[in-house]
Structure 1
């Protein structure tokens, strides 16, 4: 079991608390804390499914582990103001899977047996060091970190390739948007000092599988689901 020290709260929307955490080796991860419901369990199972080596070419965020925690413990975390400012010297809170209900089997199948509404699902995934695409390409606040067109176009084309691969698997992500595409800045020579433009490239990873569906489970191709601003126009017509 692992203990993850909380470094910062990244978001807290729609019952989904997202934390930046680090393990005992000071390696950073993302810990997403979800309500214990059907959609959250589906998201977990999809992350576990696509963590298999045969899907590594699909650039999906890397699942590491999951476990259950009590709602009361999460409430204490949310009410800790030091989490918001990411002040490590003051924030001594942590998430310890030693004190949780361990659900970390290979396929996540036993998660369906835990129906306690007082439990929350914690999913630990890799942390990608260059924020999401909305912040590094569209948001003026991050203008100094913005991707150039040269960097962005290969990412855009590869996202289309991944979506085509999903279609071959008879699957739909249904919520592709800049906020769900996470960017990793990669140093080719492994050295961050004296970085030159040609020594850096950007990789991407797709996240948020809460709306992900297989064709066999989709009742209608025109279900209005996803983020309103990014729903395909053909669906908006219905």
Structure 2
């Protein structure tokens, strides 16, 4: 028998809160990226936004939710390398989408292509994470649920990319983060409800138990969240950036006069 909430439903709210926080931080970073005219500086902030959305908002949510997944009388183990690789896939997919939509002129065609690619990458991350799961029984995925989960991932990714390009007000960003977290959780559990148990696996279970991965994952997630929150808090506001731009302009205008007076 398959159980998705073995931790007394603790994993569901925790996964949602982590996803919402990561999504909000990523959208705030994307807003800051739009304030920069130089492509290099904008790409840097978009990469940080991808780390927040893809790494924390999506992958950590997936890992937390998987802590509640269990099969009766079956030990579930995880391949650490493949699990870590799935995290990189999530970040890379979101980064590609954000950079593609965030550099150059915005268009609906670009949004559609970026959403499709990013959504496929997110779905790929999920099933790569499932491939990292090792058990004494065979776990298979029903095709209809795979298609539905992938469609939700594409829709959620497209919405996230559109929001990252449009939103300015902080209150609207947090509201959008709630919507994104709901979509990410919906995609995850849609895919998980499509899992079914078959016969015995072809090989013995191997890897690490999820409990062995909780401490390093929690520590890493806490550090990343603190760094991202610090970055959001310390980025200059619109007024500060405008003041800095005016001061730079004034200095450039005064520089020729100062140079002539010193000759």
- Give the alignment's TM-score, normalised by structure 1: 0.25
Higher relative contact order (CA 8 A, sep 6+): 2
- Give the alignment's TM-score, normalised by structure 2: 0.23
Larger strand share, 1 or 2: 1
Q: Which has the greater radius of gyration? A: 2
Larger helix share, 1 or 2: 2
